[in-house]
Amino acid sequence: MKGMDILLKEDRVFPPPEPFRRAANIQDPGIYEAAARDRLAFWESFARQLHWFRPWSQVLDWKVPDARWFVGGETNLSFNCLDRHLGSARRTKAAILWEGEPGEERTLTYTQLHREVCRFANGLKELGLRKGDRVTLYMPMVPELAIAMLACARIGAVHSVVFGGFSAEALRDRINDSQSKLLVTADGSWRRGTVVPLKKSADEALEGTPGVEKVVVFRRIGPSTSSGQGVPMKPGRDLWWHDLVARQSDRCEAEPLDSETMLYLLYTSGTTGKPKGIVHTTGGTMTGCYATTKWIFDIKEEDIYWCTADIGWVTGHSYVVYGPLLNGATVLMYEGAPDHPAKDRFWEIIEKYRVNIFYTAPTAIRTFMKWGDDHPGKHDLSSLRLLGSVGEPINPEAWIWYHRVIGGARCPVVDTWWQTETGHIMISPLPGLTDLKPGSATRAFPGIEADVVDDQGKSAEAGYLVIRSPWPGMMRGIYGDPERYKKQYWERFPGLYFAGDGCRKDAQGYFWLLGRVDDVLKVSGHRLSTMEIESALVDHPSVAESAVIGKPHDIKENSIVAFVTLKGSVQAAAGLPDELKAHVVKKIGSLARPDEIIFTAELPKTRSGKIMRRLLRDIAEGKALGDTTTLADASVVQALKEKYGEPE
């Protein structure tokens, strides 16, 4: 497995720095054992710290693969993120500090955020939204995205956030799969000094979404800027956010909701061509996000906390919005790119707002490393006290750089492993307790039973990561596809949750994640399926067949390499690779743009017709070819290998 050799050699250990340890929220190593002795009591103790309109009668009801947490309990996530804080000094505390890419600043206190959420929730009601209805949010990184999510949660509507980088077609499919009645979007978003035309993509998507009745448009860009032309509004369908909320009351009682009420859907890529809507519910998500944020990020009342993830991904759901707000924290949100107007933008922001906790992705860290130490060197980063990493394995070299250059060798680094499906962090250090090893996500969070198993499902030193028992924030299913849920996650090793990641466990029981073992690709931290990209390519009229693989990449973790066979009469014209790349961007979004297209007369297949991706990977990586004896036609590979000398 990739990365294994480097990781096996990594033996540096970083104990918690003494000043950090002494002030940490969690200092007692006994909590691991206590949680293992009674997992349910452990999770229950966190749920009890939150507000419930009605207590639960049973902590967990579990029949593989269906979990119900806090059975019979009634709560409201929006209430717990907002109203719960209004009776204390947090009332006037900043909940969200926002900075737009062009430099505007906004602050929303908990009182103000509560008011905005109430108004938008009333707006949703005016538009006829009821408990259980789905709402798609296709928004920039603005406070209104968090407001819309909290407003949905307040009335029991289900939000489905679609990342603004997805194309119109990808948006359309997600709207239709979720049967959303309402779309909330914006006239655009700033990214690297230009406008991302969200409304334009939304309009295109809406040509094929018969279920959508209304569209609420937040004015982010406005008609007056040089790039903002104003956006067309379709009478009877489209309305402005500001018009809708202007006529609403700023009081809206939070609806008591059963703990298992669906909270959100979030589409993610699996091993087939069709993205799956991961279902999360109220009480479990709330308890899991609250607990993990509190313990792993060591949140203190005065902290300024910044998670750089876009809310369009699960990290943004759990650790920009729900987890921090449940903890009454001050969350920083930044709209744009890290290199606009210059490559020190993040460090400038950290200095300006005196950020204490910073959570980002290895891809970003490796990019910063490449840009050089001068950029962070220009800024005072001494406010930082804790760093986090998420989304892919972090190589020890990047870890050490992050720790030294950004953290001034004084901040613990929490490398947090989890997934869209798990809802919250599952494997991570506790920063005041855990000795860190660069490249390892260290130990399972208390109350989480993670393990590594071999092909037969037996506990092993190296193999597949599994989770042995249910946890509060776990997915409750794939929207509209219970069979796929069962098959994908619970049948590979009966009764165990199969994460799809390769993993090694060292002598101390530390987990070393080794990347995906299925056809899911991580590219710059974004999750894609090889099949999805293949379907997009085959959709082009010139393409007969395609096979997509990930090729290890220093910064992005993987680059996308597509092997393509053309239809009989088609010649590979000079412009065709670019045309095919553009086609993938149109079908999925620029995040899925192939880095290389390799034309081949045939794809290497086994005698039973299965594409041998392992061989394609060897070819793309320029490695000696492995075993080719099962190939139907060995000359195909030889021809490809010769040709690969001159890609495209």
Instruction: Kindly list the residues in this chain that would bind ligand PRX in the complex (CB under 6 A).
Output: 268, 314-315, 390-393, 415-420, 441, 499-501, 513, 516, 522, 527
Residues 6+ apart with CB under 8 A from 424: 285, 288, 289, 291, 292, 318, 323, 418, 471, 472, 473
Residues 6+ apart with CB under 8 A from 455: 463
Beta strands 386-390 and 413-416, pairing class: parallel
In what helix (H) or strand (E) does residue 61 lie, and over which residues does it extend? strand 58-63
Nearer to ligand PRX, 314 or 615 (CB): 314
Residues 6+ apart with CB under 8 A from 551: 558, 559, 560, 561, 595, 596, 617, 620, 621
How long, in residues, is the chain? 648
Nearer to ligand PRX, 201 or 395 (CB): 395
Nearer to ligand PRX, 195 or 514 (CB): 514
Nearer to ligand PRX, 96 or 441 (CB): 441
- CB of 175 within 8 A of CB of 207? no
Q: Residue type for 284, please?
A: G
Task: Give the integer Cα–Cα distance in Å for 262 and 478.
Answer: 12
Helix axes 198-206, 168-178, angle to 10 degrees: 50
The CB-of-512 to ligand PRX minimum distance in angstroms stands at 9
Nearer to ligand PRX, 83 or 310 (CB): 310
Nearer to ligand PRX, 163 or 353 (CB): 163
Nearer to ligand PRX, 80 or 292 (CB): 292
The SS3 assignment for 306 reads strand
Does residue 65 have a cis bond before it (omega within 30 degrees)?
yes
Nearer to ligand PRX, 151 or 467 (CB): 467
Q: Residue type for 596, please?
A: E
The CB-of-646 to ligand PRX minimum distance in angstroms stands at 33
The CB-of-268 to ligand PRX minimum distance in angstroms stands at 5
The CB-of-265 to ligand PRX minimum distance in angstroms stands at 14
Residues 6+ apart with CB under 8 A from 66: 476, 477
The CB-of-138 to ligand PRX minimum distance in angstroms stands at 18
The CB-of-390 to ligand PRX minimum distance in angstroms stands at 5
The CB-of-641 to ligand PRX minimum distance in angstroms stands at 29
The CB-of-647 to ligand PRX minimum distance in angstroms stands at 27
